[in-house]
Structures are given as C-alpha cells and as structure tokens.
Amino acid sequence: MKKLLLLIILLNFINAGHCQNARTGQLFSLAQKYQAYFPIGAAVSPRVLKSADSILIINQYNSLVAENHMKPMWIQPKENVFKFENADFVAAFAKRHNMKLRGHTLVWHNQTPDWFFKEGDQPVSKEVLKERMHKHIQTVVSHFKDRVYAWDVVNEAISEDKNEYLRTSSPWYKIMGEDYIELAFQYAHEADPNAILFYNDFNTWQPEKRDKIIRLVKSLKEKGVPVGGIGMQGHWKIGSPTKEQIKTAIDMFAALGVTVQITELDVSVYQSDTDKQVEMTPELEQQQADYYRMCFDVFREKKDKISSVTFWGAADNYTWLNNFPVRGRKNYPLLFDTKLQPKKAFNLIMKFEASPNPPPKEGI
Ligand code: HAH
C-alpha cells in the first residue's frame, strides 16, 4: 500500500508540466509554442525551484525572474551586506536550463530597507542617498552582468493620484527629487551597457497613468537617459483591462522607440477587494480562459513590439494574490492549477496556428 502510494506520488511528480495530448501523446510546451513570438517567463523563488514545480517550470517556461530575491530588501538588507545566495540560485537554474533571466528590481519605494533612507534617526542627505543608490546598482548589476539581460531599473515611480505626476510619497522622491529616476538608469547602464533597462509599472493601461509613463519615458529619452523598455506589469482581472486598452498602451509605448514587455502577468478571479473567497468553478475557469485568450491574441498580434511575457508565478499552488489585496483569500490567477495541471486558459492560449520561426530579435 505504502509502495503504491509512493509510486503514485512519483508518477505525479514526473508528469507535472508535461501537457500531453491523450490521443497523439504529443507534448505541448508554452515556451516552444511561442518560440517565434516571445519568451514566456515565470517569477520564481529558490523554494519553488526546489519543489515539484521545477519540472513544470523547465517544461513550460524559457525565461525566469526572481519574484523577491533581487529586491533591495533581500539583496542588501544592511548597508554593505550583500546577500546573493538566493538570487544566484535562481540565476544558476536559469543558466542550467538555458532560460533567459530578467532582473527585478533596483529602485522601488517598497521592499527597500529603511537604512537606505536614514542616518541614525535622521533622514539621509541627497548626496549620501545618491551614493548609496550608486553603490547598490553598481554592485548588483555588475554581479549579474552577462546573466541578467533586462533590468527593471525603476519600479512604480508614477503616482496613482490623478492630480500628481510622480509618486511624491516615495522616499526616493522625497530625498532626491525627480533626479533619482535618471540617475538610476545611468548607474545601471554604467554597470552593464548591454542590459536592456526598463521602467516597470502597474495599471499602465489606464489612460492617465499611461500618459504619465509616456511623459516620463519621453523626457528620459530626450535627455539621452538609456531607457530601453517599458514593463507593463499586467496584474489584471477577468474583463479588465479591455482589448482596446491593452492594444493602445502597447502601441503608444512602442511608438516611443522602446521595447514592451509584459512583466508580471496574472488574472485575478476577483473583481474587488470586498469579494468573498470563491472556489474555482468550471464557469469561472472558462471566463478566465476567454480573457487570457484575448490577451494572448493581442500579444501575438503585437509580437514585433513585445519582447517577453512573464507570469507572476508558475501555478495556482502559490501566488502572491493569496495575500494581496486581501490576506488569506485564495486566488487562481495563473495557467496551471494547484495540482500543476493545465487549466482551460492554457489550452486556449495554445490554440493557434504558430507562424514559422523567424530569427531571434536583435539584442533580446
Ligand atoms: C508588484 N507590485 C511588484 O512589482 C512585485 O515586485 C511584487 O512582487 C508584486 C507586485 C504591484 C502592486 C503592489 O505591490 C501594490 C499595489 C499595487 C500593485
């Protein structure tokens, strides 16, 4: 009995991520299917890579990003104490399996330790913060040089408030003023001139926010700041944003002469913070699948403007949305279910006539 159980567990483990056609036995891989379009990524942690999920990840994705372990809080928890072990594990896994690697993130108002902004119990001076930023970016970007091909240099610097341009509540802004953004890009470029440098944000499809991102990236480019891409996070929900909103944002961003990446895709099954927890029903799975199909129809149509699509997680067994925006409310936002089996969304986004492989895009 025990042996049988072990065998079943083992078979399940081996089977995870092999999406197989029952009739032909053919294996389907998302990354392979999208080879002529863009790399397909997942946000991961060393823990996930050491679990049964690793097989799913190897089979389905060809790009990785550390969900947390390259953030300042993890990588430089104390001044001059750099902890690369976890991020290195993710980088080594990517290399071993011939996957691309994105870097996330260098300068952000969240998940950045307080010491950056303080000297004793006083706020730090602009000059010292500038030095700390320089040191951080120089050290981290150099460490991953030749491994990370694209960095989210600045994350979420635009305000959500429609009467405000930049997020003035960010300690970076408070202490350094607007300059912090261009300095971050300059420092990153100095450390790795080959990396593609991204401005990354959420709600990029909302017209007011979209236009502020355009204003920012345009002004950076005019000043000769080496911004190479815009990351559309893509924390979306069933039905929103609409097809038109996604298309328009991609077109307007690409018109600035930068590449666009979908950097943190997931599709929540909830419409608002006050929705009660639900189980995943076939109806809900179908609605989510239809929404995902629309998104990928757009991404394929815009493949010349999009150089990567990354999911913010590998499967519904673990997602940050289980604790955001409501702590402990289970969500099911990804393509594989809690048992790592493909959902309807997976089947639908795999259902298209793939165009023949063109040569890979230059530099990406
Ligand atoms: C993203 N922010 C971050 O870029 C990522 O690093 C994190 O792991 C999850 C989501 C999205 C976000 C937020 O953190 C707070 C409010 C709105 C959106």
| Per-residue tokens: 117 | 């902004």
**Ligand 1 pocket check: which of 68, 154, 202, 334 to mutate, most ligand atoms within 8 Å of Cβ?**
202
Q: Please give the C-alpha separations between residue 64 and each of 46, 90, 189, 314, in angstroms, as whole numbers.
A: 11, 8, 21, 10
Confidence of residue 266 (pLDDT cuts 50, 70, 90): very high
Q: Confirm or reject: Cβ of 202 under 6 Å from ligand 1.
A: yes
Ligand 1 atom nearest to CA at 105:
6
User: What percent of the chain clears pLDDT 90, i.e. is strictly above it?
Assistant: 89
Looking at residue 298, its pLDDT comes to 98
Greater pLDDT, 274 or 27: 274
C-alpha 94 – ligand 1 centre gap (Å): 23
Confidence of residue 303 (pLDDT cuts 50, 70, 90): very high
What is the average per-residue pLDDT within 129-149?
Answer: 98
Cα 298 versus chain centre, distance: 18
Looking at residue 354, its pLDDT comes to 77
pLDDT score of 229 more than 70: yes
Q: Confirm or reject: Cβ of 268 under 6 Å from ligand 1.
A: no
Ligand 1 atom nearest to CA at 155:
4
Confidence of residue 133 (pLDDT cuts 50, 70, 90): very high
Catalytic center residues: 156, 264
- The one-letter amino acid code at 159 reads S
Looking at residue 48, its pLDDT comes to 98
Mean pLDDT, the chain, whole residue set = 93
pLDDT tens-place string over residues 167-177: 999 999 999 99
pLDDT score of 261 more than 60: yes
